[in-house]
Structure 1
Amino acid sequence: MATTERAQEATAGSGEPEVGQLVRDMTTDKVGVVMGDWAGRYMLRPLGGGLEWDAVKVAPLSAREELSIRLAVANSGNRWGK
């Protein structure tokens, strides 16, 4: 998906993301799970676990993107014997 399409999705989103939803941080282009929000900022954490970071502008992922990312995380655990 082109960056311009992602920017359009961010502005035309269906409202505020919910806790637990997988979103893309439009500033860093990283994907994370919404852990909460406070003062207009979203706290995101990588899907496989890790340190949280703050994001101001986020966009929901398409079903295809979400499935691809979840599969990649699941496969990485299998490769390393987790």
Structure 2
Amino acid sequence: MSAPQYMIDARDGRIGEVMGHVGGYVQLRPLGGGREWDCPPEALTPAPPGEVLRARVRELNRQARLP
């Protein structure tokens, strides 16, 4: 099993885990889980590990504030 790959969707700055490729698009899933979205490959850039960590911490903090 390979390590997860994380990419930044340059259209809006979201970071997602690469889940697969369908119809010429890359499918990304938010770091905290949720609905996948499609992104054209030319709009993707690799997410630096520090950015992935910051996004994960933001998501954990958001979840901790939920009732």
| TM-score w.r.t. length of structure 2 | 0.73
Task: Tell me the alpha carbon deviations over residues 15-64 of structure 1, each in whole angstroms, 9 at most, x when there is no partner.
Answer: xxx78322111223222111111343100121122221111121111121
1:20 maps to: 4
* Residue of 31, 40, 48 corresponding to 1:62: 48
% identical aligned pairs: 36
Q: 1:26-45 counterparts in 2 under 5 A?
A: 26-45=10-29
Is 1:80 matched with 2:66? yes
**Which structure has the bigger radius of gyration?**
1
Query: Unaligned stretches of 5+ in structure 1?
Result: 1-17
| TM-score w.r.t. length of structure 1 | 0.63
Amino acid at match of 2:45: A
CA apart distance, 1:65: 0.8
Q: How many residues align?
A: 64
* Root-mean-square deviation over aligned CA pairs: 2.1
